[in-house]
Amino acid sequence: MRQILGNIIKRKVINYIKHYGDGVPEVIIDIALSFGTCNSIELIEIDNESLIYLHIFDENLDIITDFDDLEDDDKIICLYILESIDK
């Protein structure tokens, strides 16, 4: 059941990134998660596989986190923040 929920959340996040990016596969937005504040969310599509990465920019560092490795609560927060952009 958790895997199904995770897949639904991921598909929705992908759709929001495509919508807001308007051809650019990255949305610059601060998202406060349990481990820190991410500064952007990026979509990479390779051979029918969609990968989502969150970036934390710290001075000269780009710390990257895979969306699939996030806790369920953090995935839901990402979805909620992206949904709230239009409101």
Task: Flag whether the pTM goes above 0.85.
Answer: yes
Give the pLDDT of residue 87. Answer: 56
Closest CA to 28 of 13, 17, 15: 17
| CB-facing half-sphere around the CA of 55: CA atoms within 13 A | 16
For residue 4, pLDDT beyond 90: no
Segment 25-38, tens digit of pLDDT: 999 999 999 999 99
Mean pLDDT, residues 9-28: 94
Percent of the chain beyond pLDDT 70?
98
